[in-house]
Amino acid sequence: MLEYKLIKKSKDTKARVGEIKTNHGIIKTPVFMPVGTRATVKTMTPEEVKDLGAQIILSNTYHLFLRPGPEIIEKAGGLHKFMNWHGPILTDSGGFQVFSLSANRKITEEGVTFRSHIDGSKQFLSPEVSIDVQNSLGSDIIMAFDECAPYPATYEYIEHSMNRTTRWAKRCKDHHKNTDNQALFGIVQGGMYKDLRKKSAEDLVAMDFPGYAVGGLSVGEPKDIMVDILDYTTDFLPEDKPRYLMGVGTPDYLFEAVEHGIDMADCVLPTRIARNGTAMTSVGRVIAKNGKYKEDFTSLDENCDCYTCKNYTKAYIRHLFNVNEILAYRLLSIHNIYFLTKLMENIRNAILEDRFLEYKKEFYESYGYED
Ligand SMILES: CN(C)CCSCc1cc(N)cc2c(=O)[nH]c(N)nc12
Ligand SMILES: [Zn+2]
């Protein structure tokens, strides 16, 4: 059974420190969650991910539903055993990916029919199917099946979509039986309309979920709108339950999320930009594959003590990208995952020491953000 313990509230913001107890271990929050969409954090072994300080990883119902299929993972003894990761796992419900990846999708009250982006086969996901798949995967935290509405969208579209997502959440809750081992989070929708956000949050809180996600953000809206909607929405979520902001992950968004009361955040960025030759460092982004580093024998980030920064130079990493060596992806993924994990640890300590805003200012100046 998932339990959240609030340890400390910041005095001058909504930032807070807590712990989430799961069957696979305790998660210290705020926490950044590396993404392992297809049952792997790309190019990393689970031991490496653990050694980098990652506490919990994400995986994805939509992808695993299509390949290898929930039956195989269930036969393997569940996702923890299948991928040899024995810490907490959170799985998204598949709704978001159906809308972002598949073709010919058709939404009805029942669920969503779509064609697989892999082989074009006709598929169907619904609240009940999503819960059954996540049950087969055995993840510790599972998400309600929702529609992440596009941005921009009319008030009428968002109102209709949000109310259907609330009805789907009820169906998820009624269908979910394995409540002792898998905590089902409701996902707040409502687009950029505060009255719809309030209604979505209040209707979900009335169903008493063990945790809540704020969805429908980080979908292309301007940052100031995202922060304003997020700040408004978290006021309607219970303080004694975890809050998860879905789909963010650059350092500035992590600071904003924590400042406005979020405990958990995920993002594909660390491994995705790593494969594109980009590192997040203490002095901002470094395009490590850039030819200007051909004879730069300094460390990737002189303020980082990760394996990559302690043992290799910019010149070597740039060389690896230049000759398309797979080790290039691994070395940058190691650094980027460590960087964000360490950032969240530093944020957590700053809250405990009542200096969150000072730390945010210090980091923004060093990273090159305008506040
Ligand atoms: C691994 N991650 C990239 C996937 C997890 S986060 C995906 C995700 C991202 C965003 N921005 C919004 C939503 C949303 O509103 N609902 C759901 N179910 N998922 C979402
Ligand atoms: Zn490093």
pLDDT (tens digit, 9 = 90+) per residue, 58-70?
999 999 999 999 9
pLDDT (tens digit, 9 = 90+) per residue, 9-54?
999 999 999 999 999 999 999 999 999 999 999 999 999 999 999 9
Q: What share of the chain is helix, strand, coil (3-state, %, to 5)?
A: 45, 20, 35
Q: Which pLDDT belongs to residue 249?
A: 75
Q: Which pLDDT belongs to residue 371?
A: 65
Above pLDDT 90, what percent of the chain? 95
SS3 239: coil
Q: Which residues contact 80 (CB under 8 A, 6 or more apart)?
A: 24, 86, 89, 138
pLDDT at 123 over 90: yes
Question: What residue owns the CA closest to ligand 1's atom 9?
Answer: 247
Of all ligands present, the nearest one to the C-alpha of 168 is 1
Domains parsed from the chain with CATH numbers: 3-267 (3.20.20.105)
* ipTM of this complex: 0.97
**Which one is catalytic: 140, 203, 263, 266?**
266
Two structure tokens written together for 26: 């305790």
- Decide if 188 contacts 213 (C-beta within 8 A): yes
pLDDT (tens digit, 9 = 90+) per residue, 69-98?
999 999 999 999 999 999 999 999 998 998
In the structure, what pLDDT confidence band is assigned to residue 228 with cuts at 50, 70 and 90? very high
The distance from CA 335 to its chain's CA centroid, rounded to whole angstroms, is 18
Q: Which pLDDT belongs to residue 101?
A: 85
Q: Give the span between the Cα atoms of 283 and 298, in whole angstroms.
A: 14
Of all ligands present, the nearest one to the C-alpha of 162 is 1
To which H or E segment does residue 362 belong? Answer: helix 356-367
Q: Give the span between the Cα atoms of 255 and 243, in whole angstroms.
A: 15
Mean of pLDDT values over 205-234? 98
Check pocket membership of 148 for ligand 1, CB cut-off 6 A.
yes
Q: Across all residues in the chain, what is the average pLDDT?
A: 97
Check pocket membership of 147 for ligand 1, CB cut-off 6 A.
no
pTM here is 0.97
Q: Which residues contact 335 (CB under 8 A, 6 or more apart)?
A: 274, 279, 281, 300, 301, 304, 306, 308, 309
Spacing, Cα 287 to ligand 2 middle (Å): 14
Spacing, Cα 296 to ligand 2 middle (Å): 16
Spacing, Cα 84 to ligand 2 middle (Å): 25
pLDDT (tens digit, 9 = 90+) per residue, 303-349?
999 999 999 999 999 999 999 999 999 999 999 999 999 999 999 99
Is 266 marked active-site?
A: yes
Q: Which pLDDT belongs to residue 350?
A: 98
